[in-house]
Structure 1
């Protein structure tokens, strides 16, 4: 009974902290809402570029790697709007705190920086939901006539939330490399390229050779965007492996838990090094 009571109190405390930090972040970024509103222009322009490219690719064929032109446009439309929900820059914020020594203040606080940063991300993306996701989704639905209504909304929402967490945890781990590197900027740029390429941002992962698909299946990058997009569309396949939505979402959840464990190890090792040198 005492354990349950303690867990309840911990959950209430965490919820209050998340709400406070998230709300403060939302109000802070609301002052720069015009910056986020630019996405209403950038997103559709990016989609139009993809349309012209793939329209030319499908000029003399009905399908390409199992995709029709309509399915390809749905893929890029879903990729675009989901990116607005999972966008994250925790790696940049974290490496700046470590480089400047300001991370010290978080070691002394009762709330870990990782939880604080996640709460910030929730607030930031809540604002992004209203200023970026919804307007662009409506443009795709009513102007471009792209069907972006998921056949299984429940699984799609769960997968997007897990993609949100995976994106944050992976970026956070990259930011933690600043504990060992003087400047993690180079690692960050390489990571961003690998992340986007291996996460299906440029082309669906099924376009890669079979051996590459097999490697990508066991890497965490697909769980950031590719899996949420596939669940959003209503089916999943990679490396010749077809999984039901509950199966792939379950694997995605396990991957998120594993990445949380990796981040926990890196946080402890990094903080030991950080305090060990007298910062």
Structure 2
């Protein structure tokens, strides 16, 4: 990577990616040029991710653009290394959305060009980031001393719940998602929707798998789900909650279609 000459402009960065393909330090260099162009105002992580996708599509680079999670992790490394810094926040696009954090280049980021060619090589948990602290409080007992969990009783309680009726009927529609057609799609959406308020991530993952395998009707099903999520605040909040627990999103500035695209990249 040391043999790569740092591209001075965005056009040179695109040319480098076209020439060297996967061996080029793609994500970090594109982030550098986008943040330099943004100036002191900076850019948000998702805004930068969308710009990178646009560059890949417009220039036909022949490579798959980095997923949102890869861009988000790169921002983490760059901030820990002192190459970028927090530049303030602004309100999200929805009244209930969290503020959007923006980042800009630091003087070190403008000066230390070589670090942008491979930021992860310079990152050290003890140097670029704070050293991990031991957990506070008493230590848990060693595995052999822990009481055994009563799995059989838990299974019995779960089966009893599943027999309680309409709330759990969505599992039938989930288990038989491969039977969806254009004619019965409305029935399947109605049957699945109680589950979208409880386990939207699980259901969307299955639909995305089917859409990738078969396309057609399942792509239409994803579009319908995105439309219904716009109208159902409970299901949308639950999806944000589950994706946040996995570190896939921060904030609430995304549309349901954006969330489905992020999941699609994350599940690849």
Q: In which range does the TM-score fall when normalised by the shorter chain?
A: under 0.3
Of structures 1 and 2, the one with the larger relative CO (CA 8 A, separation 6+) is 1
Provide the TM-score with structure 2 as the length reference.
0.22
Could you say which structure has the larger radius of gyration? 2
